[in-house]
Structure 1
Amino acid sequence: MNTIEKQKLSVLIITLNEELHIKSLLEDIDFADEIIVVDSFSTDQTVPIIESFTNVRLIRNQFLNYTSQRNFALDQARNSWILFIDADERLTPDLKTEIISTINSNSPASAYLIYRTFMFKNMKLRFSGWQTDKIFRLFNKTKCRYTEDRMVHEKLIVEGEISILKNKLIHFSYSGYEDYKKKMHQYGLLKANEKLKKGQKSSLLLMIFHPVYTFLYQFLIRLGFLDGLKGVTICYLNAYSIFIRYKELQKITASSRI
């Protein structure tokens, strides 16, 4: 009698100063066959917390950008099936069950998108553009790789079919205004350097109108106003990241001419 070999799962996490989230996440993913954390030399208590988990392999690697860090982590995994998860994300029991069931099924898909529920502190954000947020988190690394032309908001190149899981991730991205603003600022800087590599330029018009368009689109078209003050905050900070992108790109371009 032939038996199907159980598929093993590697869970990958990249971290930098994630002491607020990492303990809860590592406790949440004890069902994995392998857990690897690639840390960018955290200066808080992230590393000691990780080291307290004997089932977790910690690797320190200098952060260049999100794409290179994720691809580095992929290369460390022993198993083909990968669950890539951020420190501020959590799995529901139903999602855990679905993940294990999926990788051991006869599904032909090479990668799976997972919808996320965005949490504003401890409250669910229902609109503001996040209501349809989905991201690649589960995939077979033999058929997938992050494209090198992006530094942030990484793009997974998939060879084969793509499917979507039914259950959602819980995304605790917004813990406070200053922390989220710092994150949006970092995204803006990385996007500026990404555009520079592609030969794109900034302008005063782009610096003004693209952020304004982003805010109005998310606040009005994507119904951010229905989230009240939370919607105003998120839509503003997302627009702020766009502004930083063009401001930094203009600064880099000007300095290169000197």
Structure 2
Amino acid sequence: MDLSWQQLTELYWSGAKCEVNLLLIANLLGGLLLGSLLGYERWYNGRAAGMRTYGLVCMASAAAISIIGYSGFWYGGHSPDTVHGDMTRVAQGVLTGIGFLGAGMIMKEGLSISGLTSAASVWMSSVIGILVGVGFYGAAIAMTLLCMAFVVVVNRIEHILPRRVSLFITIRLDPTHNWSVEKLAARLERFGLLLHDESVSIQADQVGTRWTFMISARNRRTFISVVDLSRDIMAADHIQELDIQPARN
């Protein structure tokens, strides 16, 4: 099929095509703005994924969905009857792909899991982009503001509500010292700490014995600081190495 330059220009740069491109550009800018706004909250709280990641995810989602709505204009609109986009499949593919991106943001070390909120919010940014792409601008703005408010407000509420402070501890003992779960629980009881028996893991070699376990404070208000706890634990001469991490999830 031979087309002249004038015919190609009319296909790809016609007045209707320019209007569609302007609307798509507006959707891209809207997705970029809303995604960056959502990412600011994560960036403000020191998370690895910030405004750039969220902005790009939201804009890409908006672009992928927006072009499906104008399948009649694909390839210059020369053969609109042969091109039909399935928006549900595209949305499914976008959400699945962003799910893999979110999975890479989740970090697990022992019993400590971090990145779940960031993974959920970056997936949320793709949904916001989809809303922008299909033209639900009010819902996209409301969803962005609700997500930001929810994360900020609930984070403050969690610090007010009663909860148990949990720590993930790894201790290397002298090979000549005999420890037992009962002795460990009794020692921690003096500090107001509860040992989770099901979390105890023991590894032994010629250098010594490595105990890994999770503890929780019986009362958050009376819980001593991590620095004081580590100082009291290291006071025992049979402990060679100590590692304390927050058991986040």
Query: Do both proteins adopt the same fold according to a TM-score greater than 0.5, normalized to the shorter chain?
Result: no
The TM-score, its normalising length taken from structure 2, stands at: 0.25
Please say which structure displays the higher CA radius of gyration. Answer: 2
The TM-score, its normalising length taken from structure 1, stands at: 0.24
Structure having the larger proportion of residues in helix: 2
Structure having the larger proportion of residues in strand: 1
